[in-house]
Amino acid sequence: MNPPAEAEAVFGDQLGLAERFAQWLIGPGLTRGLLGPREADQIWERHLLNGVSIADLIEPTSVVLDIGSGAGLPGLALLLARPDLQLVLIEPKVRRVDFLREVCADLGLPARIVRARATPDGLVLLPDDVTGGAVPPADVVTARAVAPIGDLALWAKPLLRREGRLLAIKGDAAPAELHRDRTVLTALGFLDAAVLTAGTSVASGPMSPVMTATVISMRLGGVSRET
């Protein structure tokens, strides 16, 4: 499937790699069950460009940990648009880890892939993880379609630096989800929790199209794993 016009502005000189990633997603990604059979027609708008919409919320050269990376969304799409980021993909399932390793090798992407499960006590490395070394404290933890925000915050807290941010890409139910779990987030030490419409401009001028996503954003105050 050819990329939409917006993709060139978003990915720039990485567009060719983004197209190859799209082919991985609608090829092996579908046949291995990482994406549903109806997702191919929406691969750019719903998956690649949707994930990149949070790019403007992340500071340059940030360490980004993507929890439950699955097929590499939003993590790898974000790295293609923002190659300055230090990306760590956290994924517990073997077949998904294998897919991520194959994609990164083919595209030459420097993402670190860790087979691990995020828990309230930090990452639990699983058998056959080959990364070695400690995972650095994150400036940003990202997640997309992984778990309710209360659970995500519980898992993200031990991974974040103080003042680090959790950015969870959500859908239309985000306001209700945040309202339901706000007490939990406050107890965990998260501040400024809010629902944002995150967007990345893809052209110049007052009528610039913007790729958007609904995001629950918050920052970690108090004590983090860095202290």
Whole-number pLDDT of residue 46: 87
For the chain, domains (ranges, CATH) are 5-220 (3.40.50.150)
Percent pLDDT > 70 in the chain is 90
Least trusted range by pLDDT, from 52-56, 135-139, 201-205, 221-225? 201-205
Q: 75-98, pLDDT tens digit by residue?
A: 999 999 999 999 999 999 999 999
> 83 or 51: which carries more pLDDT confidence?
83
Residue 227 has pLDDT above 60, yes or no: no
**pLDDT for res 223:** 55
pLDDT at 204 over 50: no
Q: Using the predicted structure, report yes or no on whether residue 158 has a pLDDT greater than 60.
A: yes
Query: What local confidence, expressed as pLDDT, does residue 130 receive?
Result: 67
Closest CA to 87 of 162, 159, 152, 138: 138
On the question of pLDDT at 203 being above 70, the answer is: no
Give the contacts of 218 (CB within 8 A, at least 6 positions apart). 153, 165, 166, 185, 190, 191, 192, 193, 194
What mean pLDDT is predicted for residues 162-186? Answer: 96
> Which pLDDT score is estimated for 38?
83
Mean pLDDT of 104-121: 96
Q: Provide the edge-to-edge strand list for the sheet that holds 190-201.
A: 122-125, 112-119, 86-91, 63-67, 138-144, 160-170, 210-220, 190-201
User: How do residues 17-48 score in pLDDT, each as one tens digit?
Assistant: 999 999 999 999 999 999 988 888 889 988 89
Please give the pLDDT value at position 155.
Answer: 97
Contacts of 3 (CB under 8 A, 6+ apart): 15, 18, 19, 22, 44
Per-residue confidence (pLDDT) for residue 142, from 0 to 100: 98
pLDDT tens-digit map of 117-140: 999 999 999 987 766 678 999 999
**Token pair in block for residue 9:** 């502005």
